[in-house]
Amino acid sequence: MILGYKAIPGETPYFFGKVPGPDGTPHDRRFVRILCGLILPQLKEQFGAVIVLGELFRSTGPIDLTGLAISMGSWLEIETALEQFRRDLKMSHIIVEGEENREVLRRIPGLRYAAGEVPFLTYAAPKHALAEIGRQKVNTLITEGRLHIEHLTSSMDRDPEQSAKALQCAVMYALENKTFYRQPRRQQGLAGLIGLDGL
């Protein structure tokens, strides 16, 4: 899957592309953010996990997230996946477990791909993201049909604990940091431009 990015001056930028729906059929989708939850491997034999979510572009209504990609494995596999996801999915936000892990991302050259055109931001997840509240929020979104990850669950089974943590980081960040949609400017009529309003 490859997404495009469109930024028009004065309008809310968005990501676009064909994304498989629950039945596997591709549908045109627009996303306002592409979020990446990342858990880095801390031990040599431990897996890391990276999951990419697209936030549906809609200025009203509750947040709606779609799973776009997932990868798990060693540090080298995670680094390779991050670079690939940046090129293909143009992920704009990477959310890591702690502030110290943001420094690690600065040393991955492939993450700077198209940085002058597509936003690239890193954040630490809220401290409670990996606590019980984070797990409950993820479950609530799934139950309400606002987090679509059914097609990724078989991949998540490779390391359920690490993939759940990556998902919680991304979801909790998205819930606590709402997207700002730019309001389109109202066009003034001729009367407004020449000062005839009210006459």
Q: What is the pLDDT of residue 21?
A: 74
Predicted pLDDT of residue 190: 52
Residue 186 is predicted with a pLDDT of 59
Amino acid at 100: E
CA distance 85 to 91: 7
DSSP E strands, the chain: 4-6, 14-20, 26-39, 48-56, 65-73, 93-96, 121-124, 147-148
Supply the pTM of this predicted model. 0.87
User: What is the rounded CA–CA span in Å between residue 154 and residue 157?
Assistant: 5
The predicted pLDDT at position 184 comes to: 66
pLDDT 10s digits, 92-103: 999 999 888 888
Q: pLDDT by residue (tens digit) across 74-114?
A: 999 999 999 999 999 999 999 999 888 888 888 888 888 88
Q: How far apart are CA 133 and CA 118, in angstroms?
A: 32
φ/ψ of 47, rounded to 5, equals -80, 150
Which pair of tokens denotes residue 4? 């495009």
For residue 17, the model assigns a pLDDT of 94
**pLDDT for the residue 72:** 94
Query: Is 80:87 a contact under the CB 8 Å cutoff?
Result: no
Could you give the C-alpha distances from 72 to 37, 92, 99, 111, 157, in angstroms and in order? 12, 20, 21, 18, 10
Residue 122: beta bridge partners?
94
Q: What are the residue ranges in the chain where pLDDT is below 50?
A: 198-199
| Domains located in the chain, CATH noted | 4-193 (3.30.420)
State the pLDDT at residue 164: 95
